[in-house]
Amino acid sequence: MDDQSVENMPLVTPTLPAWWRVLPSLILLIIIGNIDSLILNDFIEYRYTTYYQVNSTKSNTQELCLNASLVPHNSPNSISTTTSTYPISTTMSPNDLVQESTARLNLFISLAATIPAILTSILLGTNCERVGRKPLIILPFIGKTIRYFVLTAVAYYNLADLWIILAVMFDSAFGTSGLSILGTFAYVSDCTSNKKRTAAIIIIDVSTACSKVLPLLTIGIYLQHPNFIQSMVFTLLLSVGGLVFSIVLQPESNLNLQHLNFLQQLTKTRLGETTKMFRVFLAKREGHKQRSLLMLVSTHLCSISMSMGAVAVYYLYLYGAPFCFDSLGVSLVSCAQTVTTILITIPFTLTVAKRTDHLLLPILGFLTYMTYLVLFGIANQHWMIYLAVCIAATHSVFIPVVRSRITKLVEPNEYACVFILTLIFESGGHYAISAMANEIYRVSLTYFPGLVFFVFAMFGALGILLLLYV
C-alpha cells in the first residue's frame, strides 16, 4: 500500500448513520418550498393587480375577483382606458387580466428554468454514487439562498419581471427540491433493509406533509397584507440556516466518502457517469424484473406529471373567480389536505405498510387523485374544493409503494440512478409541466378554467394501465 493511500484512509471506522438523520434537512427544504410557492404567486399577482387597476379605486385582488365573479365571462362589458398602462379596450375583466398576465409570467419563468434544472439533475443525479448523498442535499439550499437574495431586491426596489425569472433560473441551476429528494431516497436505501424501507419512505412522506401545516398557515395569515419584503427576508434566513445545518451537521451515508468534505465530494463528479441513466434500465435482470422496473418507473413519472400539472396552477386557480380565495383561504385548503394525509397515513403505516406493498394500493391512489382533479375542474363552491383535496390525500399515502417497489428491483449501487428520470421530472420536468399547465389555463381562462385539471387526470389513467402490466 503506497503512502498516498494510507494518508487518505479515514482515522475512524465509518459507520452507517440512522436513516432519519436525513429528515431535518429535507423537512426544512420542503418548508422553504411551500412558503416559496405561496409568496411568489402572491407577489406576482399583487404586482399585476397594481399594474392593471387604472380605472378602479379598489386595491385588493380579492375584491376584484369577487366583482368579476358576478359578471359572466362572455359579458359585453369592457374596460377602456387611454393610459400608458393599458391603452386598448378589452372584454376581459381586470381580474382576468391579472390572471392571464400571471399565467404568462409563470410560463416564461418555467421555460427559462427548465434547461438548467435538467442539466443539473442529470449531472449530479448520475454522479450520486461517486459524490455521495450530502452534496445533493446541500446544493438546493445554495439555490434558495441566491433566489431569495434576488427576490428581496426585486420587492424592495420594484425591479422588472426579468429579475424574477433570473432568480428562479439561478435556483434551478443548483438543483430543486427534486435533487434533495433523490439524495434522500438514496440515503434511506443505504441505511435500511428491504423489510424496513417501505415504512421509512412513508414516514418521510408523512413528515414532509406535517411540515407544511404551520408554515402555510403562518405565511397565509401574514400575506393578507403585502408584507413581501419581510416574508422574503425570513425565507432567505431559513435558506442560509438550512445551508449551514446541512454542511455542518448532515452526515454522509456513503461509507467510502464520509472522510471527505462537501467540496471534495463534488470534485469527484464525472461527465461520463451520465450514461448510467440509460444503463440501469437496459441491464438484463432475472425473471421479469427489467419489464417491471420500466413499468414502475413509467408509472411513477405519470404520478409526478399528474400532480405537478395540478400544483402548477393550484394557487392561481383558487385566487380566480368564482372562488376568490386570499392567501389565508388557500393555506387553509392546503392544510386540510395535509391533515387528512396525516390521519390516513398513521394507521396505514402501522398496519398495511408493514404487511404488503401490493400494486392495488397505488391504483387506488391514482383513482382518488383523478377524482380530486375532476372535482376541482367542475367545482363552483368552496365545499367542493375542500372535499376534493381531502379525497386527494390518499394519493400521497399509496404512491410511495411504487418507489419502494422500484428500489427492490435494483442493486444497492443503482438506487440513485434508477430515480434519475424521476429527478428530471421533479426538477426540469417540473418547470416544463408548469409551463404547459399555465398555458392551458391561460388559453381556457375565459370559457373553462378547470380544463387543465381534466387534461392532467389523463396521466392517472395511463398510470393505472401501466400498473396492470407490471
What are φ and ψ of residue 75, in 5° steps? Answer: -60, 140
Instruction: Please report the DSSP string for 158-222 in residue order.
Output: T--HHHHHHHHHHHHHT--HHHHHHHHHHHHHHHS-HHHHHHHHHHHHHHHHHHHHHHHHHHHHH
CA distance 188 to 253: 9
Say which CATH class 20-65+93-250+277-467 falls into. mainly alpha
Collapsing DSSP to helix, strand or coil, 268 comes out as coil
CA dist list (Å): 290 to 236, 397, 409, 414: 44, 26, 8, 13
Which residue type does 171 have?
A: D
What Rg, from alpha-carbon coordinates, does the chain have? 23
Q: Looking at residue 224, what is its pLDDT? A: 67
Collapsing DSSP to helix, strand or coil, 139 comes out as helix
How is the chain split into domains, by residue range? 20-65+93-250+277-467
Q: Looking at residue 63, what is its pLDDT? A: 60
The region of weakest confidence among 46-60, 159-173, 282-296, 378-392 is: 46-60
Q: Is residue 158 pLDDT above 70, yes or no?
A: yes
Q: At what angle do helices 327-350 and 382-398 cross, to 10 degrees?
A: 40
Q: What is the dihedral of CA 216, 220, 222, 227, to 10 degrees?
A: 100
Q: What does the angle CA 389 – CA 393 – CA 395 come to, to the nearest 5 degrees? A: 120
Q: pLDDT band for position 349 (50/70/90)?
A: low
* Burial environment of residue 286 by CB neighbours within 10 A (0 to 12, 13 to 18, 19 or more): exposed
Contact, 320 vs 65, CB < 8 A?
yes
Q: Looking at residue 13, what is its pLDDT? A: 64
Collapsing DSSP to helix, strand or coil, 90 comes out as strand
CA dist list (Å): 464 to 209, 298, 318, 358, 362: 24, 11, 28, 13, 8
The region of weakest confidence among 181-195, 228-242, 350-364, 419-433 is: 419-433
Contact, 122 vs 420, CB < 8 A?
yes
Q: Looking at residue 372, what is its pLDDT? A: 93
Q: Looking at residue 454, what is its pLDDT? A: 95
Instruction: Please report the DSSP string for 383-408 in residue order.
Output: HHHHHHHHHHHHHHHHTHHHHHHHHT
Q: pLDDT band for position 455 (50/70/90)?
A: very high
CA distance 312 to 76: 31
Q: pLDDT band for position 178 (50/70/90)?
A: confident
| Residue tagged 410560463 (cell numbers) | 107
Which residue type does 317 have?
A: Y
Higher pLDDT: 56 or 441? It is 441
Half-sphere exposure for 132 (CA within 13 Å, toward CB) = 25
Task: Give the other-Cβ count within 10 Å of 346's Cβ.
Answer: 12
Q: Looking at residue 139, what is its pLDDT? A: 94
CA distance 319 to 60: 12
Q: What is the mean pLDDT of residues 294-310?
A: 87
What b/e sequence results for 61-90 when a residue is b if at least 16 CB atoms lie within 10 Å of its CB, and e otherwise? Answer: bbebbebbbeeeeeeeeebeeeeeebeeee
- Report the percent of the chain where pLDDT is more than 70: 83
Q: What is the mean pLDDT of residues 309-334?
A: 83
Total residue count of the chain as it appears in this document: 470
Q: All 3 cell numbers of residue 59?
A: 386595491
For all residues of the chain together, what is the average pLDDT?
Answer: 80
pLDDT digits (tens, 9 = 90+) for 71-112: 554 444 444 444 444 444 455 667 778 888 888 898 888 888
- Report the percent of the chain where pLDDT is more than 90: 21
Closest CA to 179 of 119, 222, 264: 119
Q: Looking at residue 177, what is its pLDDT? A: 78
The region of weakest confidence among 197-201, 427-431, 462-466 is: 427-431
pLDDT digits (tens, 9 = 90+) for 10-34: 555 678 888 888 889 998 998 898 7
Q: Cis omega (within 30 of 0) on the bond before 322?
A: yes
pLDDT digits (tens, 9 = 90+) for 199-232: 787 778 777 777 777 777 777 777 667 778 888 9
The region of weakest confidence among 64-78, 281-295, 385-399 is: 64-78
Q: Is residue 427 pLDDT above 70, yes or no?
A: no
pLDDT digits (tens, 9 = 90+) for 117-156: 888 888 888 888 889 999 999 999 999 999 999 999 999 9
Give this prediction's pTM. Answer: 0.72
